[in-house]
Amino acid sequence: MMKILLQSAVIAGMFGLSLASAQAGETLDRVMKNKVLVEVTDQAYPPFSYLNDKGEMDGFDIDVSKEVAKRLGVGYKVETPSWAIITAGNWKGRWDICVCSMTPTTERAQVLDFVNEYYAAPAVIVVNSDNTDIKGAADLNGKKVGAEAGTTYEKYIQKQLVIEVPGQPTVKPDFPFDNAEVVPYDSEDTAFQDLALGSGKRLDAIVSGYMTAKDRVEKSNGKFKIVGDSLYAEPIWVSVDKGDKEWEARIKEIFQAMHDDGTLKNISEKWVGKDISTKP
């Protein structure tokens, strides 16, 4: 019986090794064979990714991922499932890359591989302009605070956020409030629509990325305002499905070249007005 068990274990191990070997380079092989890079991103996260007036996806992340496709010598396609589905991993070949303003976390690192950082951005609080109660994070105590489901912003409101970047010390932000009620949304668009109804009607505040919040505030005709200091600094990384080191190496190579030749800087200045890109 022991011999049979040992033989089974050896066979299983050999199968596992052969399976891992077969998967090496699978994504790069698929992209080059199909001659298209499939990007997955958020549909409503301006100025990084959003539907423009022509009904086409546009923004900082879209331009960056299109450039990746160009340097691979293939076509480009973008898909926009919910953020919770993107961050759940196990893509099974549906998508090749997520240039989608994602922050590494302990939970996400279990199901996705983080390849390289490409920009950094602070998280902030947004309130309705009629709000006089919330001036900073400490004032979120007991408030209804909106965030897109599955984001670091939701985790922050829940006081569960841990930023775990490969090769870097783990960072846990300060949470200067006792308890806030998180109100999750499938899209930030809906959250801001609810906040626009007035302070306290459906939401008291929203936690969002500064660049996106700034864009929404400027286009709101005075409905919203950003309050307080930055909550935490978000390192934004490119992510891929787990287990393909050859694909990750090729992506790192491309982003390094994009940084070195100024492409990331130019795209950043186009969409944000300044260079927020970081060295891969």
Tell me, what's the pLDDT at 19? 39
Q: Are residues 115 and 240 in the same domain?
A: yes
- The domain that holds 241 is classified in CATH as 3.40.190.10
Domain extent, residue 207, equals 121-234
Q: Are residues 228 and 138 in the same domain?
A: yes
- Asked whether residue 216 is assigned to any structural domain, the reply reads yes
| Residue 40 token pair | 């997955």
Tell me, what's the pLDDT at 262? 97
Please report, in tens digits, the pLDDT of each residue of the chain (280 residues total). 333 333 333 334 443 433 333 355 899 999 999 999 999 999 999 999 999 999 999 999 999 999 999 999 999 999 999 999 999 999 999 999 999 999 898 889 999 999 999 998 889 999 999 999 999 999 999 999 999 999 999 999 999 999 888 778 888 899 999 999 999 999 999 999 999 999 999 999 999 999 899 999 999 999 999 999 999 988 999 999 998 999 999 999 999 999 999 999 999 999 988 899 998 8
Going from the C-alpha of 165 to that of each of 107, 108, 114, the distances in angstroms are: 11, 10, 8
- How many CB atoms neighbour CB 120 within 10 A? 14
Tell me, what's the pLDDT at 23? 53
Beta strand pairing status for 181-185 and 144-148? Answer: parallel
Q: Are residues 166 and 204 in the same domain?
A: yes
Q: Are residues 46 and 73 in the same domain?
A: yes
- How many CB atoms neighbour CB 77 within 10 A? 16
Q: Are residues 140 and 226 in the same domain?
A: yes
